Amino acid sequence: MSDKQRVLVVDDAQANIKVLNELLRNQYHISVATNGPDALDIANSKNKPDIILLDIMMPGIDGYEVCKQIKANSKISHIPIIFITAKTETEDIVKGFKMGAIDYILKPFNSEEFLARIDTHLQLKKAKEKIEMDSVEIKNLNSNIQKINRELIGLNTSLEEKVKQRTLELSDANKRLAYLNDEKMVFLKYLSHEMNTPLNFISAANIINKDDMSEDNLEIVEMIKMGFSRLNDFIKEVIGYFDLGQIVCKKVNVSLEEVIKEVKSTVDTKSITLELLLKEQIRVNADKTYLTQLISILIENAIVFSRPNGHVLIETSTINDKPVLIITDKGKGIKRENLEAVFIPFVIQDFERHDGGYGLNLPKAKVIATSHNWSLYAESDGIDKGSRFTVVFK
């Protein structure tokens, strides 16, 4: 199919048609009509012309009437019409423009000027059609945007209502949790007080005269003493953990390096080597007491779960301008599915992570980190592949 634009030549003189055909055939697809009715049929056909070159003086329906009928038909009124005639009177020219013609070329004409005018009007037609198409597309886009905006407003309204409702629910839940936490603290303190009385009696086992006891009774007394000691330690641990939920941080600007070195000097390293790789001049805003406790927990955790004569690396750095503490051991490791659970109180994942404690040290560290708006997380490639605990300070 040709990409040439279509030109309809309407003239009853064969000589004129021949001249126009010679001028136009290399650039355009030419259709010819020698009278008004044929011109109207071609204009209304499937392959409509892109422009019409119309003679005025023709038998039957003249050029003016053909132009008038084309412009009255909305399906073809957009086709530009150029009158080509020998009529030079002003009133004839004005009449042609009134009928809807876009230009008026007088015979005889200059070939170059003639071709330039046709090309110009065809380009104007294409530009107009492009503008109209763009206008329709813009109108459709605007319609779609308005529809989307209406939907977004509806969604936003619905979301605001849901957020409002959810906020109320969370507020109620937080109040309930605060109430339950207060009740829990009261209960634990009451439990501690009530248990201390019988424990005091049990502790009297320490002053019993053992000289007159049989070996079996001595063994029972030792078991009582061990049970007392463990139960007493458990009560202190539980109360200490829940007390952290009510801490008020008194933040000061402290040197992370100094706190780590202080902790290192006090912990029992057993046979474990502690390597420090500390970046100087890193300072954090923290409650020093709780920061010390957090670092102690993480270092002691690494020592406890390291193999004999193992190695623990303690390093500090900055990531995205935030101070970071990383403690890495090459010990027992953590199953990947338990990396989050190590921070849940009273949860002992499996035998590999059982250190004889109560499962509260890492949860304590998590509470301290959260109260300071820090991030604390654990990483491990699995059992026997070591662990890495990271604190990101803010």
Per the listing, tokens 């008004």 go with 36
- What are the boundaries of each domain within the chain? 6-109, 252-392
Whole-angstrom distance, CA of residue 222 vs CA of residue 242:
31
Whole-angstrom distance, CA of residue 365 vs CA of residue 325:
13
Pairing verdict, β 252-255 and 273-277:
unpaired
Q: Which two tokens stand for residue 184?
A: 């829990």
pLDDT by 10s per residue, the chain, length 394: 457 899 999 999 999 999 999 999 999 999 999 999 999 999 999 999 999 999 998 988 999 999 999 999 999 999 999 999 888 788 888 999 999 999 999 888 889 999 999 999 999 998 988 998 888 888 898 888 998 888 888 888 888 888 888 888 888 887 877 666 666 666 666 665 566 666 665 665 555 666 666 777 777 777 776 766 666 666 666 666 666 666 678 899 999 999 999 999 999 998 999 999 998 889 999 999 999 999 999 999 999 999 999 999 999 999 999 999 999 999 999 998 889 989 987 665 444 455 556 678 899 999 999 989 999 999 999 889 999 999 999 8
**Cβ neighbourhood burial of 108 (10 Å; 0-12, 13-18, 19+):** exposed
Examine domains 6-109 and 252-392 and report if their fold is the same. no
**Cβ neighbourhood burial of 164 (10 Å; 0-12, 13-18, 19+):** exposed
Of 293, 296, 283, nearest to 323 (Cα)? 283
Whole-angstrom distance, CA of residue 202 vs CA of residue 134:
93
**CATH of the domain spanning 6-109, picked from 3.30.420.40, 3.40.50.2300, 1.20.1090.10, 3.10.150.10:** 3.40.50.2300
CA dihedral 13, 15, 19, 25 (to 10 degrees): 70
pTM over 0.75: no
Backbone angles phi, psi at 231, to 5 degrees: -65, -40
CATH of domain 252-392: 3.30.565.10
Alpha carbon 142 to its chain's center: 26
Q: Which two tokens stand for residue 305?
A: 């779960």
